[in-house]
Amino acid sequence: MQTPLANKEFDHTNTINALADKFENIRLECLETGIYQICIHRPKILNALNLQCLEELNTCLDLIDSNPDVRVLLVTGAGDKAFVAGADIAYMKQLSAQAAENFSAYGNQTFSRFSQLKVPVIAMVNGYALGGGCELALSCDFIIASDKACFAQPEVNLAILPGFGGSQRLTRRLGLSLAIELVMTGRNIKSDEALKLGLVNHVYPADSLNEAGLELARGLTHKSPYALAAIKQLMHQGENIPLDQALKLESQSFALTFAGNDREVAMQAFLDKSQASFRSLQKTS
């Protein structure tokens, strides 16, 4: 499904500013140089996802993907109760089987775009991440959570199963035995258990989460954007292929980093005991 702004060139700042006010469900803003944030903004229903929300999210991702100034993307939810409390059940209740398949496919396509972005994506889970919310977090490269966060795939309680990648991404992150337990029981996982299981990278006090996310993002903006993009692509591709093929892919990717200017800049800065400075990742297609 082609997204509204795909494959177009933009005046990045003006386009983001012009569209930001038109979204009903999403807030997109530049927090600092190179650091952008997407906030799911439906606080009255705990940021639940419907089709319009996914469409707006796709438009945001078009803007992020086309903007060479973006170095890191943060993803969060409005308010202090929920990251995203799932898909909108009132919306799903009226779906036919075919419409449900289309909704699931579109959600999967949308969430898969986070792994296809060249920049690191950090989920800041500030509350409930249930169903589609857990799936959205799992689509990001990092998950940091507040000590009030809660994760679950509770779709079984509605006599359905995860539709936005939960059954597959959860299995890849936690292993089949634990993932199948969580999907079949729908039980809640609080942030401390999520950290022990490896579901999240770090847990912070609720009032420190946003600053922790910014600090992580700031650190990443000082890394080579070409190296980060290569690492992300390599590790996502290598996850699902045999080890010998993945190692060959690593060698090829390793060589490509030597062909770029960033490697020379970084190595010279190391030898000079200075701070390397890198250019933005320019869009090449």
Number of continuous H segments (helices) and E segments (strands) in the chain: 12, 10
Rg of the chain over Cα atoms, rounded to whole angstroms, equals: 19
Give pTM, 2 decimals: 0.91
Report the Cα–Cα distance between both ends of the chain, in Å, rounded: 19
Which residues on neighbouring strands pair with residue 129, listed in sequence order?
Answer: 84, 151
Q: Are residues 157 and 40 in the same domain?
A: yes
Q: Are residues 260 and 159 in the same domain?
A: no
Catalytically annotated residue among 9, 56, 135, 181: 135
In a domain, 40, yes or no: yes
Q: Are residues 75 and 106 in the same domain?
A: yes
Catalytically annotated residue among 155, 193, 250, 264: 155
Report the CATH number at residue 42: 3.90.226.10
| Residue 246 structural domain | 225-272
At a CB cut-off of 8 Å and minimum separation 6, what does 170 contact? 134, 138, 153, 162, 179, 182, 183
Q: Which of 195, 221, 247 represents a domain boundary (last residue)?
A: 221
The packing angle between helices 51-66 and 97-116, to 10°, is 20
Number of domains in the chain: 2
- Is 135 catalytic? The answer is yes
Q: Are residues 262 and 187 in the same domain?
A: no
pLDDT in tens, the chain (285 residues): 444 444 444 456 566 666 667 799 999 999 999 999 999 999 999 999 999 999 999 999 999 999 999 999 999 999 999 999 999 999 999 999 999 999 999 999 999 999 999 999 999 999 999 999 999 999 999 999 999 999 999 999 999 999 999 999 999 999 999 999 999 999 999 999 999 999 999 999 999 999 999 999 999 999 999 999 999 999 999 998 999 999 999 999 999 999 989 999 999 999 999 998 998 776 544
Q: Are residues 124 and 258 in the same domain?
A: no
At a CB cut-off of 8 Å and minimum separation 6, what does 49 contact? 40, 84, 86, 87, 88, 107, 132, 133, 136
Helix (H) or strand (E) holding 121: strand 121-125
In a domain, 169, yes or no: yes
Q: Are residues 193 and 239 in the same domain?
A: no
Q: Are residues 211 and 231 in the same domain?
A: no
Q: Are residues 164 and 240 in the same domain?
A: no
Q: Are residues 40 and 95 in the same domain?
A: yes
- Is 55 catalytic? The answer is no
In a domain, 207, yes or no: yes
